[in-house]
């Protein structure tokens, strides 16, 4: 039985269930179904995992390098960037990392976290990733969605109503609001219709 280790603050912030450490200082972080209080073990992650060994009734599976990379990409621990460098040199399946990140709950937040970490990886080690722009664009769109859904809510608002609310709350101009509404309509987040000869916007 490995002894329990007192959790440092950064581990508690990740929602670590327990940390076990052997005499050689080999450490095992134990999570219960979720990592970082949000990322869930999905069916895709289970299918990519490789069976390692059975210990009586306990079966141990090893997560794929892509999923380990993604988990390390949303932490605030500096040492994880070095681990990401090692994993990236194994020729990762970037599309699998992108798809899994965008399928998670609060995907906009995790896309931003991972995208930012990938930019750090590029700046420090010169390792470029083809999914940085996709992740950051998704994060930006998710932020826009939150801003406009919060303002429009369950109502229908004219452009002037939306524009005034944006200007009052965030200080952005009507032209900025018009451009963002176009993006949100293109992505089928915001809809538009006419009432009494006036265009009104609503949340789809």
Q: The domain spanning residue 186 has which CATH number?
A: 1.10.10.10
Q: How many domains does the chain have?
A: 1
Q: Answer yes or no: is 123 within a domain.
A: no
Does residue 95 sit within a domain?
no
The reported pLDDT for the residue numbered 184 is: 97
At 14-57, the pLDDT tens digits run 666 777 777 887 777 777 777 766 678 888 999 999 999 999 99
For residue 201, tell me if it sits in a domain.
yes
Higher pLDDT pick, 31 / 4: 31
Q: Is residue 182 part of a domain?
A: yes
Q: CB under 8 Å to 195, separation ≥6 — which residues?
A: 156
pLDDT at 12: 58
Range of the domain at 158: 153-204
Is residue 108 assigned to a domain?
no
> What are the tens digits of pLDDT across the range 138-149?
999 999 999 999
In a domain, 183, yes or no: yes
Residue 67 lies in a domain: no
pTM of the model: 0.80
Task: Supply the pLDDT for residue 157.
Answer: 96
Tens of pLDDT along 148-203?
999 999 999 999 999 999 999 999 999 999 999 999 999 999 999 999 889 999 99
Query: pLDDT by residue (tens digit) across 82-132?
Result: 999 999 998 899 999 999 999 988 899 999 999 999 999 999 999 999 999
């Amino acid at each position: 039985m490995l002894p329990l280790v007192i959790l440092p603050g950064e581990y508690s912030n990740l929602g670590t269930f327990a940390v076990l450490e052997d005499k050689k200082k080999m450490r095992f972080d134990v999570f219960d179904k979720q990592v970082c209080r949000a990322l869930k073990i999905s069916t895709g992650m289970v299918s990519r995992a490789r069976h390692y060994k059975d210990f009586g009734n306990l079966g141990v599976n090893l997560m794929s390098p892509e999923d380990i990379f993604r988990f390390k990409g949303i932490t605030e621990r500096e040492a994880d960037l070095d681990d990401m460098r090692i994993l990236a040199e194994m020729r990762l399946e970037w599309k699998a990392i992108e798809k899994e990140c965008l399928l998670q709950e609060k995907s906009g937040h995790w896309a931003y976290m991972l995208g930012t970490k990938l930019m750090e990886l590029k700046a420090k080690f010169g390792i470029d990733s083809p999914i940085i722009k996709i992740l950051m664009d998704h994060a930006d769109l998710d932020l826009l969605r939150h801003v406009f859904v919060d303002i429009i809510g369950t109502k229908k608002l004219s452009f002037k109503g939306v524009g005034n609310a944006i200007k009052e709350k965030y200080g952005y101009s009507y032209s900025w609001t018009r451009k963002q509404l176009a993006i949100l309509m293109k992505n089928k987040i915001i809809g538009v219709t006419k009432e009494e000869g006036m265009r009104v916007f609503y949340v789809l």
